[in-house]
């Protein structure tokens, strides 16, 4: 059984942070991290995610949520983390917010099976709390590998958690949306999370303009 302190050290180690111990401390027993995902192909990556124990969310999840759609999609949509329904079904954005996301995609001539939809986290945080920094860090390699394999023409980050994690920023969505960003050479557009749009429908017009910007950037990248 891995103790919490050992797990903490393993997360820090995985994030490249040195762990200092007193000279007379016993050699730390380090949680074996899954080997690097950076060289995995799509089926291997899927399997690796399904059996992941990199963070404590593996203990409370029902299913991992790898993502859904076309592995060669032009559009990659990235949300926050699975909720209760997504955890139960193993698919992202299947609740009410997901239905609105589907409508947003239809409005720009896309669909759930033509784009790829993923999240910052592959496992549900209990009670839908925000992802912890260590959880997002432990999961990031999977998302990075998905991005490398999909090679999308445009990334749409929906909501604060996705945008802040991807862009390494503390800015609110209102300051990040409405303009192009760059993620390692891939154009990225930030927009409001569909769950927020359900609560604040007056913001839908801004989201529509973000989608139009993303469509323009995707077309430019494809030209
Ligand atoms: N919200 C998200 O950000 N992702 C999901 O998969 C579901 C709801």
Check if the beta carbon of residue 145 is closer than 8 Å to that of residue 64: no
Nearest CA to ligand 1 atom 6: 92
Ligand 1 centroid to Cα of residue 28, in Å, is 36
Looking at the DSSP assignment, which residues form a beta bridge with residue 186?
183
Tell me what the mean pLDDT of segment 47-67 comes to.
97
Q: Report d(CA 163, CA 78) in Å as an integer.
A: 9
- C-alpha dist (Å) from residue 78 to 31, 54, 123, 146, 162: 29, 20, 14, 11, 6
5 C-alpha to center of ligand 1: Å?
Answer: 30
Handedness of CA 94, 99, 105, 110 (dihedral sign): positive
pLDDT at 104 over 70: yes
Q: What is the pLDDT of residues 151-174, one digit of tens each?
A: 999 999 999 999 999 999 999 999
User: What integer pLDDT is reported at residue 1 of this predicted model?
Assistant: 36
- Spell out the domains of the chain, with CATH numbers in brackets: 4-222 (3.40.470.10)
Task: Give the integer Cα–Cα distance in Å for 18 and 9.
Answer: 9
Span from the CA of 2 to the centroid of ligand 1 (angstroms): 30
The Cα–Cα gap between 158 and 173 comes to 9
- What's the whole-model pTM score? 0.86
**What is the best residue among 95, 130, 156, 198 to mutate for testing ligand 1's pocket, by most ligand atoms within 8 Å of CB?**
95
The whole-number average pLDDT for the span 23-38 is: 57
pLDDT of residue 22: 59
Stretch 168-185: mean pLDDT: 98
pLDDT at 27 (0 to 100): 46
């Amino acid at each position: 059984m891995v103790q919490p302190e050992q797990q903490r050290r393993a997360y820090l180690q995985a994030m490249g942070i040195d762990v200092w111990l007193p000279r007379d401390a016993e050699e730390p027993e380090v949680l074996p991290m899954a080997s690097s995902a950076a060289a995995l192909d799509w089926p291997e990556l899927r399997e690796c995610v399904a059996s992941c124990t990199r963070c404590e969310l593996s203990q409370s999840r029902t299913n991992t949520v790898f993502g859904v759609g076309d592995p060669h999609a032009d559009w990659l949509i990235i949300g926050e983390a699975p909720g209760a329904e997504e955890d139960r079904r193993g698919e992202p954005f299947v609740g009410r917010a997901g239905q609105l996301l589907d409508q947003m995609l239809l409005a720009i001539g896309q669909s759930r099976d033509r784009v790829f939809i993923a999240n910052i986290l592959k496992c549900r945080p209990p009670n839908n709390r925000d992802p912890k920094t260590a959880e997002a860090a432990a999961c990031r390699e999977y998302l990075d590998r998905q991005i490398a394999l999909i090679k999308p023409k445009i990334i749409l980050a929906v909501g604060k958690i996705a945008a802040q994690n991807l862009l390494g920023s503390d800015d609110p969505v209102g300051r990040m949306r409405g303009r192009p960003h760059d993620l390692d050479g891939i154009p990225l557009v930030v927009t409001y999370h569909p769950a927020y749009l359900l609560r604040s429908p007056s913001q839908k017009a801004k989201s529509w303009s973000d989608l139009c910007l993303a469509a323009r950037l995707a077309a430019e990248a494809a030209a």
